[in-house]
Amino acid sequence: GLRFEVVPSWFKETLEKSSFAAPYEYAIETAKQKALEVANRMHIKHFRTPDIVIGADTIVTLGKHILEKPVDKQDAYKMLSRLSGKEHSVFTGVAIVHCSSKETHLETEVTDFYEETKVKFAELSEELLWEYIHSGEPMDKAGGYGIQALGGMLVEYVHGDFLNVVGFPLNHFCKKLAELYYPPPKHTIHHVKHDSIPSVETFENLSDGESDSSYPRHHKSANTLENKGISLPEAIYTSVNSCNIKPVYPAATFPSKIIELMDGFKASKALFVASKLKVFDLLKDKCVLKAADVANKIEASVCGTERLLDACASLGLLEKTHQGYSNTESANMYLVSDTEYSLHGYIIHCNDRLWHHFTHLETAVKEGTMQGHRGFGKTTEDLFQDSCYHSGEAKQCFMTAMYSISKLTAKDVARAFDLSQFKSACDLGGCTGTLAHELAHKYPNLSITVFDLPDVIANVSCFQPPGEHTTPVKFTAGDFFKDNLPEADLYILSLILHDCSDEKIHILLSKISAICKPGNTGSALLVAEIVLDEEKTHPHRAVLQSLSMTEGNQRSGSEYKQLLEKYGFTNVQIKITGNILDVILGFKRTS
């Protein structure tokens, strides 16, 4: 019999996900800010102080990756493809905000909690995926599906609260209300008092029974409300999202996303420097060291080393305890220089090469040209030649960087499409052959040639995995712009087209098209690149990379499709992998 009103929140959900140690903390903080925005607006703009505002935010997670509402159909396809055949978690963060008014000030007390439900998807066919996407249902649903409607046919099983997947954990919420207004003698519920709303300067990541001492908080016992003589109110305000309401942002709202972007270069440089000093190598294999010990090993000041280690800990790259510093799981996997999926080589490339292109970004934007000559004192062409191939040290660094990216992407590229129909393949510009070896492992009967510049081929031996001498991978030296291409059923261009001018693309694709066998379904071109959405604003990594002002372009899926069709390839298919690189496959048409 309680009276309630649904009030859409105007809080813009742009909190930086990487700032939170766990996905549920992100959901809780978003729910809290949605509820606080409504409470503040009702109090200031509508001269009504609500008794209670309930905010909720639901997210879908696969591993530690958060899947929210898809931005378009391609994004929905990407999400649902990743969920196909897998178990994922649905988290709802809930914030219960009790409001009271003292003169012109609004005072609030916040209790928050979260609920997790495990959901398993069946293996989804391409036809079923696209039929569901075209229904329109995924577009306003976290994770791209609604279990209570058509999306229910995708679900194999649910472990936990079904209503939590729908969007609100009703049972847990009712229990929490009972704890608040009829509390047990002993409890572990946290309240946060906000004297002024919504002045958010830090993320307060609270969960049941958890608190991070690094953030100052004011804790109040759960029976505070009872002591004040406050009973369960008649009016409950629920904060929700609405796509039909134009946001009006309160002047006091803290611009957390903008602040994160302002400090982004500092975070990047901290990662680059720690990698260059091989801090993560020192702390591998569960090693724990004090700042002084690390400083001694890297021959740096204790003061500077401690600040660098603290910065890495704040970024979630290291763990800090009273015993010292140690690697996180992701640091052990990706930042230690000699691990299978290490990104160390590419990080050093970013620091030593790419960083300088962005130092003069203002001039690059005004002129529309690369600014490498300002950072390195060389022309763009000379810089490219030197950095990629001619200088021994630079050549090795560049190949190591490409090797790092290839190790991370090769498996998903090789498995994006069924390539079993092909008998031979040629990876043009295949560098260290990482993708070629992955394809050879996936398709033992596929004969593969890596075709790259002589200086590259001369230095591939140190990048070959042990015991690979029996795999059918052949390395051939040549320039694919000038020389004849090896014959093959399948040609591969990985991270090539985005860096080429229209003129070079015309030369390259014309040569590939001419050598492909028309009418033979086994003759095709496989392209691995970052595929932008149709608005060309996502993924951010590709959009930002385009600011380096190379002579090439980042392209959307439709643009890649048109490009391949222009040179005689038809039945062009695009696979969004969820990895750094997406994959495009086109077959040579008969005429």
> Do 80 and 110 have their domain in common?
yes
Domain boundary (342, 372, 407) is at 342
The total number of residues shown for the chain amounts to: 591
From CA 557, how far away is CA 563, in angstroms rounded?
Answer: 10
Written as six digits, the tokens of 85 are: 């055949």
Structural domain contains residue 449: yes
Residues labelled as active-site residues: 57
CATH number at residue 545: 3.40.50.150
Domain boundary (313, 342, 371) is at 342
> Using a CB cutoff of 8 Å and minimum separation of 24, what contacts does 457-461 make?
459/395, 459/396, 459/399, 460/399, 460/431, 460/432, 460/433
Structural domain contains residue 366: no
From CA 589, how far away is CA 564, in angstroms rounded?
Answer: 11
Q: Which residues make beta-bridge pairs with 90?
A: 60, 117
Per-residue pLDDT of the chain (591 residues; tens, 9 = 90+): 667 888 888 888 888 888 888 899 999 999 999 999 898 888 877 677 888 999 999 999 998 889 888 888 988 999 999 999 999 999 999 999 998 877 667 888 899 999 999 999 999 998 899 999 999 899 888 899 999 889 999 999 999 999 999 989 999 998 888 888 776 555 444 444 444 434 333 333 333 333 333 333 333 333 333 333 334 443 444 444 434 444 444 455 678 888 888 999 999 999 999 999 999 999 998 899 999 999 999 999 999 999 999 999 999 999 999 999 999 999 999 999 999 889 999 999 999 888 887 888 888 888 887 766 665 555 444 433 444 444 567 778 888 889 889 999 999 999 999 999 999 999 999 999 999 999 999 999 999 999 999 999 988 888 887 665 556 799 999 999 999 999 999 999 999 999 899 999 999 999 999 998 765 556 899 999 999 988 888 888 888 888 877 788 999 999 999 999 999 999 999 998 888 899 999 998 655
From CA 512, how far away is CA 195, in angstroms rounded?
Answer: 67
> Do 232 and 277 have their domain in common?
no
> Do 331 and 211 have their domain in common?
no
- Contact assessment for residue 205 and residue 29, using Cβ atoms and an 8 Å cutoff: yes
> Do 271 and 240 have their domain in common?
no
Structural domain contains residue 353: no
Q: Which of 99, 319, 310 is closest to 196 using CA atoms?
A: 99
Q: Tell the burial category of 310 from Cβ atoms under 10 Å away from its Cβ (0-12, 13-18, 19+).
A: middle
> Do 136 and 194 have their domain in common?
yes
> Do 309 and 162 have their domain in common?
no
- pLDDT at residue 1, rounded to an integer: 61
Structural domain contains residue 281: yes
> Do 295 and 429 have their domain in common?
no
Whether cis (ω within 30° of 0) applies to the bond prior to 233 is no
> Do 18 and 118 have their domain in common?
yes
Q: Which residues of 249-288 are buried (b: 16+ CB within 10 A; e: fewer)?
A: eeeebeebeeeeeeeeeebbebbbbbbebbbbbbbbeeee
From CA 73, how far away is CA 51, in angstroms rounded?
Answer: 40
- pLDDT at residue 517, rounded to an integer: 76
Amino acid in the structure at residue 522: G
Q: How many domains does the chain have?
A: 3
Residues near 287 by Cβ (< 8 Å), separated by ≥ 6?
Answer: 326, 327
Structural domain contains residue 291: yes
From CA 306, how far away is CA 297, in angstroms rounded?
Answer: 13
Domain boundary (195, 220, 245) is at 245
Written as six digits, the tokens of 280 are: 């993560």
User: Strand 524-529 and strand 531-532: pairing?
Assistant: unpaired
Q: Which of 376, 395, 379, 396 is closest to 387 using CA atoms?
A: 395
- pLDDT at residue 501, rounded to an integer: 92
Structural domain contains residue 377: no
- Contact assessment for residue 225 and residue 132, using Cβ atoms and an 8 Å cutoff: no
- pLDDT at residue 378, rounded to an integer: 53
From CA 419, how far away is CA 526, in angstroms rounded?
Answer: 10
pTM, full prediction: 0.56
CATH number at residue 318: 1.10.10.10
Amino acid in the structure at residue 350: C
Written as six digits, the tokens of 190 are: 């946290």
> Do 467 and 558 have their domain in common?
yes
Structural domain contains residue 416: yes
Structural domain contains residue 347: no
- Contact assessment for residue 64 and residue 71, using Cβ atoms and an 8 Å cutoff: no
- pLDDT at residue 103, rounded to an integer: 66
> Do 532 and 499 have their domain in common?
yes
> Do 487 and 561 have their domain in common?
yes
Q: Is 419 helix (H, G, I), strand (E, B) or coil?
A: coil
Q: Is 212 helix (H, G, I), strand (E, B) or coil?
A: coil
- Contact assessment for residue 80 and residue 138, using Cβ atoms and an 8 Å cutoff: yes
Amino acid in the structure at residue 112: D
Type and span of the H or E element at 448: strand 447-452
Parent domain of 90: 3-245
Q: Which of 424, 428, 478 is closest to 448 using CA atoms?
A: 424
From CA 385, how far away is CA 394, in angstroms rounded?
Answer: 10
From CA 48, how far away is CA 71, in angstroms rounded?
Answer: 35
From CA 206, how far away is CA 210, in angstroms rounded?
Answer: 6
- Contact assessment for residue 257 and residue 73, using Cβ atoms and an 8 Å cutoff: no
> Do 118 and 225 have their domain in common?
yes
Phi, psi values for residue 171, rounded to 5°:
-65, -50
Q: Which residues of 390-408 are buried (b: 16+ CB within 10 A; e: fewer)?
A: eeeebbebbbbbbbbbbbb
Percent of residues in the chain assigned helix, strand, coil, to nearest 5: 40, 20, 40
